[in-house]
């Protein structure tokens, strides 16, 4: 029995049988390495190539005659290489790209690029914010101004916290001042 390339045996064909086909694909042979351009194309591959041709025609890259000739050639194409030659002079996004060399990872599967390290948050800015929120105005104002200077000098984060701490600190200081004036005026 003759062994077909995909490993099954074809029934009814034996050695010396008059029915042995002359087709080389039904005889036993060792598997061969096939370059991608020689691989057989599928209907979806032809459809993608037609899409590239349609886009090129719509953009004015092809005349109606060129489009018609290439469209007919796509229908008759059997391999990736034939399809690639039909759109080689056109910008073609959906066509197959050459296979990635062995050992090289496609960019899609590479880890994301490293982000720069985050800047540290200034501790005096946090202190100013907390002191301003609990109502200790003067300490919040002092630590807020210290934090602003340190943030400028050290290139740290926390400018917003220092600003909020200063705002609440000035409001708290004003409230304490008004309270003291009211107590002195009443007494």
| Whether residue 127 is found in the same domain as residue 177 | yes
Using CA atoms, how far apart are residues 182 and 187, in angstroms rounded to an integer? 8
In a domain, 128, yes or no: yes
Instruction: Give φ, ψ of 123 to 5 degrees.
Output: -70, -30
**Containing structural domain, residue 144:** 123-186
Number of domains in the chain: 2
Q: Tokens 């469209």 correspond to what residue? A: 71
Average confidence (pLDDT) over 172-177: 90
Q: Which of 1-15, 65-79, 80-94, 162-176 has the lowest mean pLDDT?
A: 1-15
Write the pLDDT tens digit of every residue in 20-64. 455 555 555 555 566 667 788 888 888 888 888 898 888 888 899
Helices (H), the chain: 43-58, 64-76, 80-86, 123-134, 137-154, 159-186
| Whether residue 79 is found in the same domain as residue 128 | no
Say if residue 8's pLDDT is above 70. no
More confident residue, 13 or 104: 104
The reported pTM is: 0.39
In a domain, 34, yes or no: no
**Bridge partners of 96?**
none
| Whether residue 50 is found in the same domain as residue 89 | yes
In a domain, 118, yes or no: no
């Amino acid at each position: 029995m003759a062994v077909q390339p995909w490993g099954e045996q074809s029934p009814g064909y034996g050695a010396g049988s008059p029915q042995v086909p002359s087709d080389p694909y039904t005889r036993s042979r060792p598997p061969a390495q096939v370059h991608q351009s020689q691989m057989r194309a599928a209907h979806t591959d032809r459809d993608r190539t037609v899409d590239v041709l349609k886009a090129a025609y719509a953009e004015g890259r092809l005349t109606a005659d060129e489009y018609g000739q290439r469209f007919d050639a796509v229908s008759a194409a059997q391999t990736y290489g034939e399809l690639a030659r039909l759109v080689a002079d056109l910008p073609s996004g959906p066509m197959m790209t050459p296979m990635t060399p062995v050992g090289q990872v496609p960019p899609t599967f590479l880890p994301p690029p490293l982000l720069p390290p985050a800047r540290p948050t200034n501790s005096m800015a946090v202190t100013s914010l907390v002191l301003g929120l609990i109502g200790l105005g003067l300490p919040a104002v002092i630590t807020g101004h210290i934090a602003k200077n340190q943030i400028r000098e050290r290139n740290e984060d926390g400018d917003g916290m220092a600003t909020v701490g200063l705002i609440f600190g000035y409001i708290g200081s004003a409230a304490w001042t008004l309270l003291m004036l009211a107590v002195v005026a009443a007494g």
